[in-house]
Amino acid sequence: MAQVLEFKLPDLGEGLTEAEIVRWLVEVGDVVAIDQPVVEVETAKAMVEVPCPYGGVVTARFGEEGTELPVGSPLLTVAVGAPASDAGADAETETEGSGNVLVGYGTGAPPARRRRVRRLAADVVTSVADAPAPAPAPGTAETGGRGDGPVPVISPLVRRLARENGLELRELTGSGRDGLILRADVEQALRATATQEATAQEATLLPPTTLPSTTLPPATLPTPATMTSPTTDGVTRTPLRGIRGAVADKLSRSRREIPDATCWVDADATELMRARAAMNAAGGPKISVLALLARICTAALTRFPELNSSVDMEAREIVRFDRVHLGFAAQTERGLVVPVVRDAHVRNTEALSAEFARLTESARTGSLTPGDLTGGTFTLNNYGVFGVDGSTPIINHPEAAMLGVGRIVPKPWLHEGELAVRQVVQLSLTFDHRVCDGGTAGGFLRYVADCVEQPAVLLRTL
């Protein structure tokens, strides 16, 4: 006899409370394998394919395409342990749950064939009709049971955070419902470990491998017409929910919590553009302006590491990172997103160009993962592509700074004592005044400007 299990929408993005169904990948009556993607949803971070942790026959779906569902609400039900629909059917079903919700984060179950069968036999219908009400399977991620079964973790981001910091999840006690391990549980365990290490080593900073609790930087995405109410007396009301709601919360939190300040300077980028032209004329992969600016940023952060940090007000500590995960703006048809280049500080300009190209293409095709959009420690905002000279961007909370780059245009400039037409760019730095004073911020910006004006300055740090 089949048992009907209910699969609920998990937290896919650092505590986001809702997601919109974009496309169903299975129909009622399909046979699904463990970790087979069953629905594509959109969060404020990315488009995500959600795999089902159960193997069996889909008996119900909840929500039509375009419907917005809160985290924890039912997505679908699966009849597990159902008999095959006929002797000729070779699709396999699994009766164990993996506890996984995103493809590629690993599973405690053996590999399964990912084949879909679009038929539901009479014996399966009978088994489902006689089955008890949906209930979590023993030992699955939703029960909170330990034993030899999967660890009670729903979010793959929690799994990754623990894995990157060498933390054994089975040793934790979850504070969520039914013992579910949350991100806060992992962070608390990491802080406790850091405190012990700091006491032993008489250190004052957290381990450099601890990544900040970063969410997607502010993105400007078009609001669907269906979300905008009809005009009344010339007034149109658009609900602040979904993507726009997440953006509003993000911007408000940054302004509310971060005492930011901005400094800026004009720089002569003529020599930088000549250097780029010479590099590209030598053959090999093309080097982008963004890659050169990113290389300058990482060199500047080496000299002024205070700006590669965040503030933990609960612990009243400045948390400094020795790895630079560089966020950058990428314009897509869906709007502006900010992918993150991991370990940008160890990449040369050629490697940076390649990674920027890869992430930009993924952004345009909508295939960025939540991991591509989180974990940044510093942001490079090239708003010059929009034809503007300057800006005072809002810091991507909880980072400590953002470098803004305007357009590079010919302007009159005093060069070697004579007036000449040079390629001029405006650079601006918005920084968290809690992590440093104006002297540090000014030193960082001046070093960036010096590298732009004289690229050979970079040779001192290579």
Residue 189 has pLDDT above 50, yes or no: yes
Q: What band does 293 get if pLDDT is binned at 50, 70 and 90?
A: very high
| Pairing outcome for strands 418-432 and 401-405 | antiparallel
Mean pLDDT value of segment 132-150: 42
Secondary structure letter of residue 262 according to DSSP: E
Q: Decide if domain 152-210 falls under CATH 4.10.320.10.
A: yes
Fold of 3-150: OB fold (Dihydrolipoamide Acetyltransferase, E2P) (2.40.50)
Q: How far apart are CA 419 and CA 357, in angstroms?
A: 37
More confident residue, 264 or 233: 264
Note the pLDDT tens digit of each residue in 32-58.
Answer: 998 888 998 877 666 678 889 888 999
Q: What band does 335 get if pLDDT is binned at 50, 70 and 90?
A: low
Mean pLDDT value of segment 278-298: 93
Instruction: Look at 6-15, 78-87, 223-232, 292-301 and tell me which has the smallest mean pLDDT.
Output: 223-232
Q: How far apart are CA 21 and CA 459, in angstroms?
A: 50
- Establish whether 433 is a catalytic residue: yes
Specify the pLDDT at position 374.
86
Handedness of CA 199, 203, 205, 208 (dihedral sign): negative
Mean pLDDT value of segment 215-244: 56
- Sorted by where each begins, the domain ranges of the chain are 3-150, 152-210, 259-460
Is residue 131 helix, strand or coil?
coil
User: With pLDDT > 90 as the criterion, what percentage of the chain qualifies?
Assistant: 41
Residue 82 has pLDDT above 60, yes or no: no
Mean pLDDT value of segment 357-381: 87
Specify the pLDDT at position 66.
81
pTM: 0.59
Specify the pLDDT at position 84.
43
Mean pLDDT value of segment 139-168: 59
Specify the pLDDT at position 446.
97
Secondary structure letter of residue 235 according to DSSP: B
Instruction: Look at 162-166, 327-331, 424-428, 457-461 and tell me which has the smallest mean pLDDT.
Output: 457-461
Q: How far apart are CA 306 and CA 284, in angstroms?
A: 36
Highest mean pLDDT among 108-112, 125-129, 195-199, 378-382: 378-382
Is residue 309 helix, strand or coil?
strand
Specify the pLDDT at position 351.
94
Q: Based on C-alpha coordinates, what's the Rg of the chain? A: 26
The active-site residue out of 325, 345, 397, 433 is 433
Task: For residue 48, give both structure tokens.
Answer: 């995500």
Q: How far apart are CA 312 and CA 292, in angstroms?
A: 32
Q: How far apart are CA 75 and CA 69, in angstroms?
A: 9
Handedness of CA 62, 65, 67, 68 (dihedral sign): positive
Class of domain 259-460: alpha beta
